[in-house]
């Protein structure tokens, strides 16, 4: 494992639809060594299937679980990015990676 695992994900993105258990997917990512999870969705006024609203509700529940486990809320972030907002998304990713570097890795696989 690299000394700074957060850097190794800079150019790697996995797309997951948050159908099913968002909690399970986030906790699994943290248990596997992710320093944090960034979820990007469309803005509510641009979202065709109410996915942004549903993602916000599901991730609020996941935040409660993380809090109970003693995991900082900054480890999970939801951001909205408009269609065609690749530059904005990259800026969000870069900023989040910097924040995660400051937080450092989770202890004991996230405690989850």
The answer to whether 22 and 59 are in contact (CB under 8 A) is yes
pLDDT for res 108: 60
Range of 70's domain? 17-105
Domain for residue 5, yes or no? no
Domain total in the chain = 1
pLDDT at residue 69, as a whole number: 92
- Percent helix, strand and coil across the chain, each to the nearest 5: 55, 10, 40
4 is a domain residue = no
Element (H, E) at 22: helix 22-31
pLDDT in tens, the chain (112 residues): 444 444 444 434 444 444 457 788 888 888 888 899 998 888 888 877 777 888 888 899 899 999 999 999 999 999 988 888 888 998 999 999 999 999 999 876 444 3
Strand residue runs (E) in 8-86: 37-41, 76-80
Amino acid 11: pLDDT: 36
Q: How many CA atoms lie within 13 A of 31 on its CB side?
A: 8
Nearest to 98 by CA among 29, 25, 2, 4: 4
In-domain check, residue 3: no
Please report whether residue 32 resides in a domain.
yes
């Amino acid at each position: 494992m690299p000394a700074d695992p957060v850097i190794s994900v800079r150019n790697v993105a996995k797309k997951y639809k948050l159908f099913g258990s968002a909690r399970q997917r986030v906790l699994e990512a943290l248990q596997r060594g992710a320093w944090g999870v960034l979820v990007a969705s469309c803005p509510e006024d641009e979202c065709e299937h109410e996915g942004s609203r549903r993602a916000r509700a599901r991730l609020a529940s996941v935040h409660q679980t993380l809090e109970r486990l003693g995991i900082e809320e900054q480890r999970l972030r939801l951001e909205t990015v408009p269609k065609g907002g690749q530059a904005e998304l990259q800026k969000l990713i870069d900023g989040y990676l910097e924040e995660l570097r400051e937080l450092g890795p989770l202890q004991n696989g996230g405690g989850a």
